[in-house]
Structure 1
Amino acid sequence: MRKRHGERLLFEIDTLTIEAAAGYVLTGVNGAGKSTLLRMFAGLERCEACTVEFDGERLPLHPYPAALRKAIVFVHQHPIMFSTSVFHNIAYGLLARGESKRAVAPVVEAAMHWAGVEHLRDTDPTRLSGGEKQRVALARARVLQPRLLLLDEPTANLDGPAREQVMALIPTLLDAGGSVVMACHDRDLIGLPGIHRLKLRDGRLEYR
């Protein structure tokens, strides 16, 4: 896995193994390529000559395969919200997959309860705080039951209480059976029990 910015080689990674139902933090200095690496896995940025092994099958990351599009969900540091309602934002992915409104409703209600945003059900997300948006984004990702959830700086720029609320959700995402990779600098996230550490340094990936 290789990525260049112009003439500069951002990183070159021979192998990265992500175990099922495991949590990882991806650390490194600003500009090391943490967000870029996650975006490549999510098909949001082109990957040069990259392949992955998924369910025993070797797949290219370009063009991005449908199997990975369903299995991998990326949550941006500053989540984009539709100017509708919290409920609709969480429901959107399931409805886009063709699920009926009747089937989606109880799933979304449970996700809002999980994220602690049920009182915001009919609120326009553009009026939410940063912490509330992050919890809505996590709920929106969770209902899709991803095999791999990619979080880009999930606690960055959040105040104390909002940060703690988001942090409390991370272990429960792992309990659902998927894997989570978080790009972050947050020492408390890095120190969560059972979380493996990956570090991008000088274009190489180190396992800690």
Structure 2
Amino acid sequence: MTESTHAPLLTVRGLTRRVGTRHLFDIAELVFRRATAVALTGVNGAGKSTLLRMIAGLEPAPGATVTWTEADGTPRTTPLTPLPQALRRQVAYMHQHPYLFRTSVRDNIAYGLRARGLPHDEINRRVGAALGWAGIVHVQDTAPDKLSGGEIQRVALARAKVLEPELLLLDEPTSSLDGHAREQVIALISELAAEGRCVVMVCHDRELINLPGVVRWKLGEGQLDTKHR
């Protein structure tokens, strides 16, 4: 879980956002590296969630570009908005308060795979693995309104992981949790980065920020410090 010599997964340039007359941020270049966990910090209102949503293609990023390398080694650069089709399956975003469909936990996790048209056997295999990974096999047939806060967060993480994205963007993944539930979610986040993914999380959780190997980015006064200590 260290920022090292890994080739960049994505590089975004020219990322800016204004809110009325206020210049929220202006980021010339932002590099996302594989096998890295990043804690994105800053005061409330600095634009942390907005930044993640722009990267995820959920909010427009006019003028910004994204560069990545295709599977055959060919570099590509395109506008970030709309998020290029080639990247849509590589990026997953988890809201601070995840929305779960009014079906079972298993169906929630399988939803994205069904939307992609995967074979039934493959869906069952991947969903089963995700349930086991998140420690939620015992609630797989349960409706979301019967789950605890910690279980909801683990379902949301499993639903993101099952799609096998390379970049996970998590907005305050432990903000509503305490005790054992929080510890479980922190452990899962550590595992995601250890698998070689890039995990960027908006957070104020000191335990997450201080995990060994976590890189800290700090957003404030319109600028992003990616080497904050």
- TM-score for the superposition, normalised by structure 2: 0.89
The more displaced of 29-38 and 99-108 is: 99-108
Residue 17 of structure 1 is matched in structure 2 by: 31
Residue 57 of structure 1 is matched in structure 2 by: 76
Q: Give the Cα separation in 1 of the matches to 2:187 and 2:34.
A: 21
Q: Give the Cα separation in 1 of the matches to 2:196 and 2:114.
A: 23
Task: Give the C-alpha shift of residue 48 in structure 1.
Answer: 2.2
Residue 34 of structure 1 is matched in structure 2 by: 48
Which of 63, 68, 74 aligns to 2:93? It is: 74
Q: Which amino acid aligns with 1:116?
A: G
Q: Which amino acid aligns with 1:34?
A: K
Q: Secondary structure at the match of 1:31?
A: coil
Task: Give the C-alpha shift of residue 74 in structure 1.
Answer: 0.2
Q: Give the Cα separation in 2 of the matches to 1:4 and 1:68.
A: 25
Q: Does 1:44 align with 2:63?
A: no
Residue 184 of structure 1 is matched in structure 2 by: 203
The more displaced of 52-61 and 197-206 is: 52-61
Q: Secondary structure at the match of 2:45?
A: coil
Q: Secondary structure at the match of 1:150?
A: strand
Q: Does 1:94 align with 2:113?
A: yes
Please state which structure has a larger fraction of its residues in helix.
1
Q: Which amino acid aligns with 1:156?
A: S
Q: Give the Cα separation in 1 of the matches to 2:52 and 2:129.
A: 28
Q: Deviations over 1:135-175 (max 9, x none)?
A: 00000111111110000000001121111110010111012
Task: Give the C-alpha shift of residue 19 in structure 1.
Answer: 1.1
Q: Secondary structure at the match of 2:89?
A: helix
Cα RMSD of the aligned pairs, angstroms, is 0.9
Which of 82, 106, 128 aligns to 1:109? It is: 128
- Count the aligned residue pairs: 208
- Please give the residue correspondences for 1:115-130 in structure 2 after superposition, counting only pairs within 5 Å: 115-130=134-149
Identical pairs, percent? 56
- Flag as ranges the 4+ runs of structure 1 deviating above 3 A: none
Q: Which amino acid aligns with 2:94?
A: V
Q: Structure 2: which 5+ runs fail to align?
A: 1-14, 70-74
Please state which structure has a larger fraction of its residues in strand.
2
Task: Give the C-alpha shift of residue 103 in structure 1.
Answer: 1.3
Q: Deviations over 1:33-64 (max 9, x none)?
A: 00000000000011121111111211211122
Q: Which amino acid aligns with 1:107?
A: R
Which of 137, 150, 174 aligns to 1:131? It is: 150
Q: Does 1:162 align with 2:162?
A: no
Q: Does 1:141 align with 2:141?
A: no
Q: Secondary structure at the match of 2:103?
A: coil
Q: Give the Cα separation in 2 of the matches to 1:40 and 1:19.
A: 18
